[in-house]
Structure 1
């Protein structure tokens, strides 16, 4: 890690995830005094190392580790190497976690607690890092809200002893209605919470029912429909930029990446080939 870059801090919230604060930072000389948070801390060490005191013990969190702090537990923080540490973190409030458990009809009479603080758990670290970066991007609220719930359930089941929710039902009518809503709003789809409310299900229950019925989460199904519609528009002679704008892609390169993943050829090349027939 290059220490010449200096310290940097970005702290923000994204509207689709009410009750979750986000931090991306590079700390070198900064020292956190003993303090507590009223909610959880879910952190990933991206590079370097952080040293901290928690539950009366010293911990050294190196690159690729997951740092978990329970609400109201005293801890510190400072550099564990000369160059400091690169860090991404989620700070969900307690009401957000309890609401998510309620959506799955899991017990909400007390907060889950992480048994330890430091984990080497590569797939969780990778998943949370990807989610954190997604929350900096123009991804849909549908995708952000779905992935947040899926990652948090995985984390709480693996490291806080939360039991698995019951198997989702089939809810055929709700799935049909949801597909119709998504088809009608390809460019500006509803959020997971809006979509679930429209079919009278809780958000997490709906997401699990939808995945069981289709084999994919709702945001992935939506992207498949966008790409299919993009193909039809390109076949009719629309320019890739027009297609991207009309169907709600972030930009033309976003359309190109998604289209090529499905059809093996970029939208411009596909349009040219169709025009030459």
Structure 2
């Protein structure tokens, strides 16, 4: 059977304070003039959307961002015979303000996004990856970090947000955070909880941690899990037990990440280590 002509998936991201999200394909649907209390950040995946915004007709093709500011009336309809497929973020004004406030920037009020249709390949890819991440069972640590990074990139480019100050060194906070992550490999704390433990704002902590380690907290945690997985496999533990012990979603999740990092699957690695032990 072919793909349904139209489909809609709407949900909320629990780790991001109920951020509203939409993934949809529309063909004949037409949005009546309406406005949102917060922002609308749409990524066009295929086809094209046509809409009227601020008295101007816009056409957003595949591979573009369509940006709408709070309380701005706009419409929406197909800009292509086959309609359009897109992914949309609907952050409330307070959700955006709360994140930007963490940067302690000298800005008054809520920044307005300039323009509407933008073909920024890196931002498009970043928001597509983020949207898919929020649709997956990924950790709060990863989701909260990725959301802050995406918002900062968007508002620096299209709202002329001032550059935030360079993150500080904060060596004691980084060491404490590393210890907390090692203690909770299987069930890591969220970015917000981890930052609170070291008395920093989430954004400040994430940027400080990345500066100190070269990795965002969730990526550093992933490396620790893989290092521990390798040690357990070398000791003879079965991959399925390793996956459960270290917080991987399942054995296939462990296999994908292990092979991506080391070029060999965990089962093969375990067997090779066992053969080497017998030889010696």
Is the structural similarity TM-score above 0.5? yes
Is the contact made by 1:9 and 1:25 (CA closer than 8 Å) also made in structure 2? Answer: yes
Equivalent pair of 1:48/1:86 in contact (CA under 8 Å):
yes
The whole-number CA distance in structure 2 between the counterparts of 1:183 and 1:102 is: 29
Q: Cα offset for 1:9?
A: 0.6
In the other structure, the counterpart of 1:174 is: 173
* Matches of 1:65 and 1:92, distance apart in 2: 19
Which residue matches 2:89? 90
Aligned residue pair count:
276
Q: Equivalents in 1 of 2:8, 2:31: separation in Å?
A: 14
Bigger shift: residues 101-110 or 259-268: 101-110
Q: Which residue of 2 aligns with 1:104?
A: 103
Which TM-score applies when normalising by structure 2?
Answer: 0.96
**Pairing 1:237–2:233 present:** no
SS in 1 for 2:51: strand
Question: Which runs of structure 2 are paired with 1:121-200 in the superposition (5 Å)?
Answer: 121-200=120-199
Counterpart in 1 of 2:46? 47
Cα displacement (A) at 1:108:
5.1
The equivalent of 1:29 in structure 2 is 28
Runs of 5+ consecutive residues of structure 2 not aligned to the other structure: none
Match of 2:208 in 1: 209
Q: Separation in 2 of the partners of 1:105 and 1:239?
A: 48
Q: Distance in 1 between matches of 2:247 and 2:79?
A: 44
> Aligned-residue CA RMSD in angstroms?
1.2
> What is the CA-CA distance between 1:19 and the residue it aligns to?
4.4
- Given the superposition, is the C-alpha separation of residues 116 and 221 from structure 1 closer, same or farther in structure 2, using an over 3 Å criterion? same
Distance 1:131 1:92 in 2: 14
The superposition leaves residues 89-144 of structure 1 with CA deviations (integer Å, 9 ceiling, x where unpaired) of: 00011111111111110135311111100000011000100010001111110000
TM-score norm. by structure 1 comes to 0.97
Gaps of at least 5 residues in structure 1 are none
| SS of aligned partner of 1:72 | coil
Deviating beyond 4 angstroms after TM superposition, the runs of 4 or more aligned structure 1 residues are none
Deviation at 1:253, TM superposition (A): 1.5
SS of match in other structure, 1:64: coil
